Chains A and B, each alone.
Chain A
Amino acid sequence: MRPEFYKTLLSPFWLILLVLAVVLPPLLPSYYLHIIILTLVYVALASAWNIVGGMAGQISLAHSLFIGVGAMFSTALLLKLGINMWLGLVISAVISGVLGAIIAWIDFRFRLGHLSFVLITLAFAEMGAVVVEGWDFLGGASGLLLPRDTGNFLQFQFGGGIGAFWAMLVLAVAAILINVAILNAPLGYYLRTIRDNENAARAIGVNVLRYKIAAMVISAMLSSVIGTAYVRYLTFADPYLLISPVIVIEIVLFATVGGLGSAFGPALGAILLVPLGEILRGKLGGVLPGLHYFIYGVVVIAVILITPSGLLPLLEKWWARLRGTAPARK
């Protein structure tokens, strides 16, 4: 691990976050708490996706499959077989990891280009959706309803509201820290060389297959765990929400707007866009149907045009200029 990892770990930022997390939620109306929880879910998901999409540069649309397995399968295991949801979380994560490994292997074996990779992963996502909708065990098209959340931690219950907030905060911070750790470890170097030039990476000793699989498995398992936690918060396992390609498109959007490849970029994208989307919908949704989507779209297009590499690199540049120093290492 590079020393930078421990520097990030000991940053006062985490202390400030902790204080905010303790003080703020009890003061907020439940609507705003919901927005914050939703934001944390997407911070976690965008950060998990970033390991494959940002660092390794592979635009995967298969992540709805991993989120869906984490959500639908763990729910089904509990409802149909009485399996504790903690265990269900682990089983689902392992299945997602295996699926991820298979996708990474297919990509390597058939030397998929960027576009083929996008399409193959989309096909996997669609197949997942079809399986869920057609299989009663997983709830079929009507979904599954979890028992009420009574706050029994041993049953993977967090008591909703503030409890769910803490669960999501832990996951979001964990996802970001996993990003920081990878970027400061050999895996981060390998993934970035693979992203920039796969053949040249092989030529300096990088085992492309091994590290593509590693990235996909870590990302898939993390997404699956987040999926399980998310469905516990929602209580209703809705296949149209949890295993639809729409959720991946949102993740890709947040990560891209925030800044692909960096540890905090995808989180930043989610922190800005999720509340923006929710608040626009809340304030304007009733005024003129579709208006909030329109404004949201304009904001996203503007950000991408102004700073194609994402908001975080732009902020870093401003920060460096403000302090009168040269831009930091990218």
Chain B
Amino acid sequence: MALLEVDKVTKRFGGLVAVNNVSFSVAAGEILGIIGPNGAGKTTLFSVISGFAPPSDGNVRFDGQDIVGVSPDRLVRRGLIRSFQIVQTFADMTTLDVVTTAALTRRPIREAIDYAAHVMARVGMAGKERLTPATLSLQDKKLLELAKCLATDPRCILLDEVMAGLTMAETEAPMAVVRELNSQGVTIVMVEHVMPVIMRLATRIVVINFGEKIAEATPEDIVKDQRVIDAYFGEHLDA
């Protein structure tokens, strides 16, 4: 059964159509990749699904229920959470405090603190509990985004470019976490520019260009798709 269904979603900003009539569904336990050139509308799509921006048109269903108009914090409590491409920092809190706040979604405070420390160790941030997020390296900031999501015990995570800006070696840790999470039954939707990552992780890929879905297939088939190649490398000009 589909856990997340995006049904003909359109998002307009004034005259600009950022997302145009996009539909896809994600089965429970799946890893769906969303790719597309810069400015294709991927992050806007995430904002719509996660309740930060209402769609101009269309529907989003999570676990069979309509979630358009439901606030982001309620969605988190229902088990749907997103990470941010632009890492969100907290000026005056330690990383452990931030992850603890996320863990408070489902746990009493003492348990939340222990669980937050456990989650941080799991994503490879052990020993960095007392730093402030702003002082972290880019890699650690990305791991913190992941830790925040994990700490809420989600059923479905929307990951917005958690690997962007990392070297291939640095992507190993977050990739292992994503795989492990998925093996425990967490559904994952990831927007990613780093193609080797998405090719290795995703079971299915949706391609978006200029706000529209232009292809949907397995990773093996998607690289052969002429529309995808055109979108990324430009169309052939027959002189």
Chain A bound to chain B? yes
- The answer to whether A205 has its CB under 8 Å from any CB of chain B is yes
- Alpha-carbon distance A125/B92, docked complex (angstroms): 29
- The answer to whether B179 has its CB under 8 Å from any CB of chain A is no
Q: Give the residues in chain B near A204, CB-CB below 8 Å.
A: 76, 81, 98, 101-102, 105, 148, 151-152
**Contact across chains for B92 and A202 when beta carbons are under 8 A apart:** no
Q: Give the residues in chain A near B110, CB-CB below 8 Å.
A: 2-3
Counting chain B CB atoms within 10 Å of each CB, the highest count among A3, A200, A205 belongs to: A205
Cβ-neighbour of A261 out of B50, B92, B97 (below 8 A) = B92
**Contact across chains for A202 and B71 when beta carbons are under 8 A apart:** yes
Stretch at the interface among B22-30, B61-69, B83-91, B229-237: B83-91
Counting chain A CB atoms within 10 Å of each CB, the highest count among B84, B101, B102, B113 belongs to: B101
**Contact across chains for A203 and B72 when beta carbons are under 8 A apart:** yes
Q: Whole-angstrom distance from the CB of B111 to the nearest CB of chain A?
A: 11
**Contact across chains for B109 and A2 when beta carbons are under 8 A apart:** yes
Q: Give the residues in chain B near A207, CB-CB below 8 Å.
A: 71, 73-74
Q: Give the residues in chain A near B71, CB-CB below 8 Å.
A: 202, 207
Q: Give the residues in chain A near B151, CB-CB below 8 Å.
A: 204
**Contact across chains for B52 and A199 when beta carbons are under 8 A apart:** yes
Q: Give the residues in chain B near A208, CB-CB below 8 Å.
A: 73
Q: Give the residues in chain B near A186, CB-CB below 8 Å.
A: 104, 109, 112
Nearest CB in chain B to that of A1: its residue: B109
- The answer to whether B200 has its CB under 8 Å from any CB of chain A is no
**Contact across chains for B105 and A205 when beta carbons are under 8 A apart:** yes
Q: Could you mark each residue 36-78 of chain B with 1 if its beta carbon is under 8 Å from any beta carbon of chain A, else 0?
A: 0000000000000010100000000000000000011110110
Q: Whole-angstrom distance from the CB of A298 to the nearest CB of chain B?
A: 28
Which residues of A pack against B, CB within 8 Å?
1-3, 184-186, 189-190, 192-193, 195-197, 199-208, 261, 329-330
**Contact across chains for A203 and B92 when beta carbons are under 8 A apart:** no
Q: Whole-angstrom distance from the CB of B220 to the nearest CB of chain A?
A: 34
- Alpha-carbon distance A134/B89, docked complex (angstroms): 48
Apart from A2-B109, A3-B110, A196-B91, what are 19 other A-B pairs with CB-CB below 8 Å? A2-B113, A184-B109, A189-B100, A192-B90, A193-B90, A195-B92, A199-B52, A202-B52, A203-B82, A204-B101, A204-B105, A204-B148, A204-B152, A205-B73, A205-B76, A205-B77, A205-B152, A207-B73, A330-B92
Q: Give the residues in chain A near B102, CB-CB below 8 Å.
A: 204-205
**Contact across chains for B109 and A196 when beta carbons are under 8 A apart:** no
- The answer to whether B224 has its CB under 8 Å from any CB of chain A is no
- Alpha-carbon distance A193/B88, docked complex (angstroms): 11
- Alpha-carbon distance A2/B110, docked complex (angstroms): 6
- Alpha-carbon distance A189/B116, docked complex (angstroms): 13
- Alpha-carbon distance A190/B84, docked complex (angstroms): 19
Report the count of interface residues on B (CB-CB < 8 A). Answer: 33
**Contact across chains for A200 and B88 when beta carbons are under 8 A apart:** yes
Q: Give the residues in chain B near A330, CB-CB below 8 Å.
A: 92, 94
User: Would you list 9 pairs from A and B whose C-beta atoms are within 8 A, ordered by A residue?
Assistant: A3-B110, A193-B90, A193-B101, A199-B52, A204-B148, A205-B73, A206-B73, A329-B94, A330-B94
**Contact across chains for A193 and B81 when beta carbons are under 8 A apart:** no
- Alpha-carbon distance A205/B104, docked complex (angstroms): 9
**Contact across chains for A203 and B84 when beta carbons are under 8 A apart:** yes
Q: Whole-angstrom distance from the CB of B215 to the nearest CB of chain A?
A: 29
- Alpha-carbon distance A203/B89, docked complex (angstroms): 12
Q: Whole-angstrom distance from the CB of A328 to the nearest CB of chain B?
A: 9
**Contact across chains for A197 and B90 when beta carbons are under 8 A apart:** yes
- Alpha-carbon distance A330/B94, docked complex (angstroms): 8
**Contact across chains for A197 and B81 when beta carbons are under 8 A apart:** no
- The answer to whether B93 has its CB under 8 Å from any CB of chain A is yes
Nearest CB in chain B to that of A204: its residue: B102
- Alpha-carbon distance A330/B90, docked complex (angstroms): 13
Q: Whole-angstrom distance from the CB of B135 to the nearest CB of chain A?
A: 12
Q: Give the residues in chain B near A184, CB-CB below 8 Å.
A: 109
**Contact across chains for B92 and A190 when beta carbons are under 8 A apart:** no
**Contact across chains for A193 and B105 when beta carbons are under 8 A apart:** no
Q: Whole-angstrom distance from the CB of B208 to the nearest CB of chain A?
A: 22
Q: Give the residues in chain A near B104, CB-CB below 8 Å.
A: 186, 189-190, 205
- Alpha-carbon distance A329/B113, docked complex (angstroms): 14
Q: Give the residues in chain A near B100, CB-CB below 8 Å.
A: 189
Q: Whole-angstrom distance from the CB of B159 to the nearest CB of chain A?
A: 13
Cβ-neighbour of A197 out of B50, B72, B88, B130 (below 8 A) = B88
Given A186-B109, A189-B100, A202–B90 Cβ distance below 8 Å?
no
- Alpha-carbon distance A90/B93, docked complex (angstroms): 36
Q: Give the residues in chain A near B72, CB-CB below 8 Å.
A: 202-203
Q: Whole-angstrom distance from the CB of B35 to the nearest CB of chain A?
A: 23
Q: Whole-angstrom distance from the CB of A184 to the nearest CB of chain B?
A: 8
Q: Give the residues in chain B near A190, CB-CB below 8 Å.
A: 101, 104
- Alpha-carbon distance A73/B151, docked complex (angstroms): 47
